[in-house]
Amino acid sequence: MATFQTLECIRDDGRPEVLRVWFNRPQRRNAVNNRMMKEVGDLFLALQEDFTTRVVVLGGRGASFCAGADRKGDDQPLDPAASEREQRFRHHLGRRAARAIEECEIPVIASIQGHAAGGGCVWALSCDFRVCATDAVFWYPEIELGVPLTWAATPRLVQEIGMARARQMVMLCERVDGRRALDWGLVHAAVPAGELDQETERWVQRLLAMPDTALHMAKTQFRAYGRAAAQGDVSEADGDQIEVARRLPGTRERFQAQF
């Protein structure tokens, strides 16, 4: 498996069919930079041809699952883009990463503590199952920052929790704790923070107990059904939308304010 700068990948001892993937920028609360977006996409695309792994657990090192966009400046920059087309490609890295998680051939469990904000919330929602600490916080700060919510996040959110709740989260930037996330159907389980690892393991065991081929077929079916909700989605241009929005008066100042 490739070596990453923003991710840590570990197989369970004696159980190589379980792969644990950690966002590994704890000093920045696993905030998202371009390198992380690229590495998440690269990893989950590579897993399409991994026939050993049966369950992937996606988590975050340190205090938070993923705190959204890194607004402190990029300390792990990619090499400069060689062309305008490459730069445009990079504007879509986050959406491509979310799609790679969603379309991964292997069931993915998100194990969430602390903040799952912005892109981190999008990536959590891209997983098949979500287990969180009751004091975890889910939210999309994009509208407050003056940029649209992109990465195909809105249709995915509507599909999971319904239109009314999705409006509440997106348009009002409402913070949703773990208990309410469970009530809304945003997560499958919410437990005290000290029990998160144990609860995550319970979900791992439940998946491993299922016949592998039948489980894969079921995931493929759900993936196909999910595509119906994305009809008319404009996310193919969402990188362009973000770039335009960031040039609006006042948006840059809001975005650069500390999280």
Lowest mean pLDDT among 5-14, 124-133, 211-220, 236-245: 236-245
Q: Which residue has the tokens 């966002």?
A: 23
Kindly indicate the confidence band of residue 236, based on its pLDDT and cuts at 50, 70 and 90. Answer: low
In a domain, 53, yes or no: yes
Rounded mean pLDDT, 4-31: 98
Give residue 19's pLDDT. 98
For residue 13, give the DSSP letter.
Answer: T
- CATH code (residue 45): 3.90.226.10
SS3 64: coil
Number of domains observed in the structure of the chain: 1
Half-sphere exposure of 174 (CA within 13 A, CB side): 15
In a domain, 1, yes or no: no
In a domain, 204, yes or no: no
SS3 130: strand
Write the CA distances from 45 to 61, 150, 183, 205, 210, integer angstroms.
22, 20, 32, 24, 24
Q: How far apart are CA 150 and CA 155, in angstroms?
A: 10
In a domain, 58, yes or no: yes
Give residue 213's pLDDT. 96
For residue 248, give the DSSP letter.
Answer: S
Q: How far apart are CA 222 and CA 245, in angstroms?
A: 33
Give 109's strand partners.
Answer: 57, 129
In a domain, 60, yes or no: yes
Give residue 62's pLDDT. 98
Give residue 72's pLDDT. 86
DSSP character string of 16-51? EEEEEEEE--GGGTT-B-HHHHHHHHHHHHHGGG-S
Has residue 121 got a pLDDT over 90? yes
In a domain, 31, yes or no: yes
Per-residue pLDDT reduced to its tens digit, 27-61:
999 999 999 999 999 999 999 999 999 999 999 99
Give residue 259's pLDDT. 47
Give residue 226's pLDDT. 80
In a domain, 203, yes or no: no
Encoded tokens for 28: 């920045």
Lowest mean pLDDT among 41-45, 139-143, 254-258: 254-258
Per-residue pLDDT reduced to its tens digit, 187-212:
999 999 999 999 999 999 999 999 99
Instruction: Supply the range of the domain harboring residue 213.
Output: 7-197+209-256
Rounded mean pLDDT, 159-178: 97
Q: How far apart are CA 253 and CA 90, in angstroms?
A: 22
Has residue 232 got a pLDDT over 60? no
Share of the chain above pLDDT 70, in %: 88
Lowest mean pLDDT among 28-32, 50-54, 214-218, 244-248: 244-248
Share of the chain above pLDDT 90, in %: 80
Give residue 71's pLDDT. 85
Contacts for 158-162 with beta carbons within 8 Å, 24 or more apart? 158/229, 159/226, 159/229, 160/125, 160/185, 160/186, 161/185, 161/186
Has residue 247 got a pLDDT over 80? no
Q: How far apart are CA 74 and CA 204, in angstroms?
A: 34
Highest mean pLDDT among 67-81, 121-135, 144-158, 220-234: 121-135
